[in-house]
Structure 1
Amino acid sequence: MVEEDIVKHLEFIQNIITRMANNSFLLKGWTVTLVVALFALAAQNSNSKFVILAFFPVLTFWILDAFYLWQERLFRALYNDIRNKTKDSILYEGPFTLDTTSYKGKVQSWARTAISKTLVIFYGIMIIAICIAMLILRVI
């Protein structure tokens, strides 16, 4: 019975980790979609300054993506902690929890996560693309 509860608890945590990763993936997709749409509007000569608006979704989604990645890392730390405990220590420590506050010191901070390689490469490329588009359209 207790072992089934532990497995179920680990499944809950794994589902949260999966949702966080999926949210991150969706944000990247929306970033590309919105930036391309704003490029298309700017290229149609309606107003080349639409390219400048592309910075807003990139920066906003970068912040959100960093938050989801940070949360994912917190839940991974919780998952690994529970996975490595014995059945007796889990029973002794009390009820199952999804609280990750005690793991904040064990993973990189949200700000450090925002400047991690994966996020800087993706969003940095998007910012460089916007700057190139601004040069091409002579916005600056």
Structure 2
Amino acid sequence: MDPDDRRKHLDYIQAVVTRMSAASSAAKGWLLPVVTATYGYSLTKKDSSVAILGVGAVLLFGFLDANYLRQEKAYRRLYDAVARGTRDIPLFSLDPSHADDPITPAATRLRKIQLRVRRWFPDRNVWLSWSVAPFYGAVVIVGCLIALLVR
């Protein structure tokens, strides 16, 4: 692979990682006014159902943010594979599955299903990362406390 082509390929992958990071920040930015409105309304009107609605919104935004982080990690693996040249990745490919171990025909059907599910649902490490669990966990706890207090 030509070094200039490799550099350009890495630039493309880095641009995707940057977009995922920006989308994660935007999800947190959109969550704060939603939570402020629902929790505030719940406190002023003494309505716990609105606080529970806010907790649902937090869980939805948390899932979105975890998904962005999962995708960002996949593209970081692709970046590492292209930078190191450890895998035969097609030139200018932005498919992060090229950085993963290929599924062999001998793989069990259950393993194939697990890999497909993992593409859609973030794993435990993503949920417990420093950018997801502390932020969304704290906001969920606050919402649950509000729901219990306004009963």
Q: Could you state the TM-score of these two structures normalised by the residue count of structure 1?
A: 0.80
1:112 aligns with 2:93: no
1:95 aligns with 2:96: no
1:130 aligns with 2:143: yes
Shift of 1:51: 1.0
Once residues 136 and 50 of structure 2 are traced to their aligned partners in structure 1, the CA distance between those partners, rounded to angstroms, is 18
Match of 2:4 in 1: 4
Once residues 102 and 94 of structure 1 are traced to their aligned partners in structure 2, the CA distance between those partners, rounded to angstroms, is 8
Do the aligned residues in 2 keep the contact of 1:41 with 1:50 (CA within 8 Å)?
Answer: yes
Once residues 100 and 14 of structure 1 are traced to their aligned partners in structure 2, the CA distance between those partners, rounded to angstroms, is 12
Divergent runs of 4+, >3 A:
102-105
Name whichever of 40-49 and 129-138 sits farther off. 40-49
Once residues 74 and 40 of structure 1 are traced to their aligned partners in structure 2, the CA distance between those partners, rounded to angstroms, is 38
List alignment gaps of at least 5 residues for structure 1.
Answer: none
Shift of 1:131: 1.2
Match of 2:107 in 1: none
Q: Could you state the TM-score of these two structures normalised by the residue count of structure 2?
A: 0.75
Say how many residue pairs are matched.
131
Once residues 128 and 38 of structure 1 are traced to their aligned partners in structure 2, the CA distance between those partners, rounded to angstroms, is 14
Do the aligned residues in 1 keep the contact of 2:16 with 2:75 (CA within 8 Å)?
Answer: yes
List alignment gaps of at least 5 residues for structure 2.
Answer: 102-117
